Structure 1
Amino acid sequence: MLADPAFLTRRTFLQASAAAASIAALEAWGFADEADPYGGFKVGLQSYSLRVYDADDALKHTRTLGVRYWESFPKHVPLSTLPAQVEESRQRLADAGVTLLAYGVVPFSPDETKARELFDFAKAMDLKSLSADPEPNAETFDLLDKLVEEYDVAIGIHNHGPGHRYDKADDVLKWVRDRHPKIGACVDTGHYLRSDEDPVEVIQKFGPRVFGVHLKDVRSIRSEQDIARLSRELPEHRVNMLKREGKIFTILGEGELDVVGTLRELRKLNYDSVVALEYEESEQNPLSDIELCLASVREAVKRLD
């Protein structure tokens, strides 16, 4: 992650906090309920944050980071309903002390056979929700209406920023507002910021239809000098985003996301699924940055009361 002098003092504080939390996590594999640093939120990871690692290492790092909840993507938990594969995945998670609450992002179409495979998997893994990118047509949503009722598994439609079919909150709302109560949103805070929407207001719009959260932060870059410098340092796909949007992803709490406000709205909703940090930067060595992001969440929790 690129250093910015404006954030060095705060980052130094968060680094100390993150280091202390990691040491505590290593000393105690379990968690003491009386000392929950996340205030009752099921803070964890979208395992895509650890995509450079295999499943065993990703789980080990998750616990070292001091969290125990996942939304997984397919590399870490294969999307299979074969009994042997399901048992292997469940045992691996149990041995690591990580609870899988959600999975995604998965596609849906009017194909009922493929849709049922996804819901069968969700049921076999005891998931609360699937983060999804359904085709925007009546046939697909009619099918989802039926399956969420039958399986008691929620669907959270994942926004993916400018240019995506689910760009802004209204692009999701128009498809879910008259549907089964278990069809709603997976709110990706970073992508909503990219789309110039306030995630706090987005959560308010969706209310009880919030079934997933991906915590990301975004920072706007205005200076031509900074844009030129970052264009030399960032990977190509991030340079393209910077040039199109004038924004980059950053450490949680160092950008435009109101972390306290986001958690406050989730608390009002009694949101009880995973609050999944999804940190996509520093792909080859993400752990120190993820520690800083989690420290920012803990800091925000302290400011809720």
Structure 2
Amino acid sequence: MKLKVLAFLFAITIMACRAQEASTGPQPPAETGEKFKVGIAGYTFVKFDLDKTLETMKALDVHYLCIKDFHLPMTSTDEEIAAFHEKLKASHVTGYAVGPIYMKSKKAVDRAFEYAKRVGVKLIVGVPNVELLPYVDKKVKEYDFKFAIHLHGPDIKIFPDAEDVWNHTKDLDPRIGMCLDIGHDTRNGKDPVADLKKYHTRVFDMHIKDVTAPTKSGYSLEVGRGIIDFPALVNMIRKVGYTGVCSMEHERNQDNPFMGLAESVGYFRAVIETTKK
């Protein structure tokens, strides 16, 4: 109960204080001092343009975005990519990765790696067909990028959980790993805290959400309202020394995700604060 009250107050404070930002200057985010960062997965804003995305991120004081191609198409010119980065810079946001990108052919893999290179990131969140993994291995060596396979729980046949991704990648280049989506991992009957501990050397990105049940029927909802043990998760993030981004991926009510996203960011940051030793 203490965490939920603190999270609520934290979220409301964030929204209120942003109105003062013009006169006081930007404030350091709540997770300052941690090795990991708090970000947002671009899919959260699938029904909104880049301007609304950046406006929301500024209000929440979140500065890291996983770039989806509906905000920056894979066909973008170099000039369009430069303009995109200027928009992000003006909002104090860094695009740290691209994806998830689905890949069903070698041509699609080539396209994804070239896109990431032109965007200027060195992390691809991808979902390649399993038979393409040897080719992904080759491209990782060629580009010196990290490749994080996004797991999807019981919704699609390939890469349902962290164990499955590990089994498919453990003998490949160590730059091939996973985007640990803790919600989907849970919905496939797994424990994301235990999986983070076991597979942390191959966890290059994390999608943060909560779910109602450890089954396919479990659905996504605001962080703190479901069954995931977030204090244990944050403590494990620290214990394994994860230095990547914990990107909030809010999938509930995508026509109007803003209050739910604010609640989720507030709760997650409250857990970060209240679990510090």
110 and 142 in structure 1: CA distance in 2 versus 1, 3 angstrom threshold? farther
Aligned to 1:103: 98
Contact 1:71 1:274 in 2 (8 A): no
- 2:256 maps to a residue whose letter is N
Q: CA RMSD in A?
A: 2.3
- 2:276 maps to a residue whose letter is L
For 1:28 and 1:152, how far apart are their aligned partners in 2?
Answer: 39
For 1:296 and 1:79, how far apart are their aligned partners in 2?
Answer: 34
Aligned to 2:110: 116
1:127 equivalent to 2:121? Answer yes
Cα deviations by residue, 1:74-113 (Å, 9 ceiling, x for unpaired): 11222235212221222221122210111211123451x4
Aligned to 1:281: 252
Contact 1:220 1:246 in 2 (8 A): yes
Contact 2:39 2:248 in 1 (8 A): yes
Contact 1:42 1:275 in 2 (8 A): yes
10 and 268 in structure 1: CA distance in 2 versus 1, 3 angstrom threshold? closer
Q: Between Structure 1 and Structure 2, whose CA radius of gyration is higher?
A: 1
Shift of 1:163: 4.4
For 1:39 and 1:26, how far apart are their aligned partners in 2?
Answer: 25
Of 162, 166, 189, the match for 1:169: 162
Aligned to 1:304: 276
Cα deviations by residue, 1:42-71 (Å, 9 ceiling, x for unpaired): 101112112221111111111111111111
Cα deviations by residue, 1:175-229 (Å, 9 ceiling, x for unpaired): 10000011001000111111111111111222211011000101239xxxxxxxx
Contact 1:188 1:215 in 2 (8 A): yes
Shift of 1:251: 1.2
1:184 equivalent to 2:177? Answer yes
Aligned to 2:59: 64
User: Gapped runs of 5+ residues in structure 1?
Assistant: 1-6, 222-243
163 and 37 in structure 1: CA distance in 2 versus 1, 3 angstrom threshold? closer
Please report the TM-score for the alignment, with normalisation by the length of structure 1: 0.81
Shift of 1:13: 4.5
93 and 73 in structure 1: CA distance in 2 versus 1, 3 angstrom threshold? same
Give the aligned length.
272
For 2:126 and 2:254, how far apart are their aligned partners in 1?
Answer: 23
Aligned to 2:8: 15
Of 120, 141, 147, the match for 2:139: 147
Shift of 1:266: 2.4
Shift of 1:73: 1.5
Of 37, 44, 47, the match for 2:42: 47
Contact 2:3 2:267 in 1 (8 A): no
Shift of 1:39: 4.1
- 2:31 maps to a residue whose letter is P
Cα deviations by residue, 1:265-296 (Å, 9 ceiling, x for unpaired): 22233322221000011212111111111111
Ranges of 4+ aligned residues in structure 1 off by more than 4 Å: 9-13, 29-33
Shift of 1:32: 4.2
User: Gapped runs of 5+ residues in structure 2?
Assistant: none
- 1:28 maps to a residue whose letter is E
Alignment of 1:192-203 (within 5 A): 192-203=185-196
Q: Does the residue aligned with 2:95 lie in a helix, a strand or coil?
A: strand
256 and 38 in structure 1: CA distance in 2 versus 1, 3 angstrom threshold? farther
Q: Does the residue aligned with 2:66 lie in a helix, a strand or coil?
A: strand
Q: Does the residue aligned with 1:220 lie in a helix, a strand or coil?
A: coil
For 1:200 and 1:10, how far apart are their aligned partners in 2?
Answer: 19
Identity between Structure 1 and Structure 2 (%)? 26
Q: Does the residue aligned with 2:206 lie in a helix, a strand or coil?
A: strand
Shift of 1:10: 6.4
- 1:98 maps to a residue whose letter is V
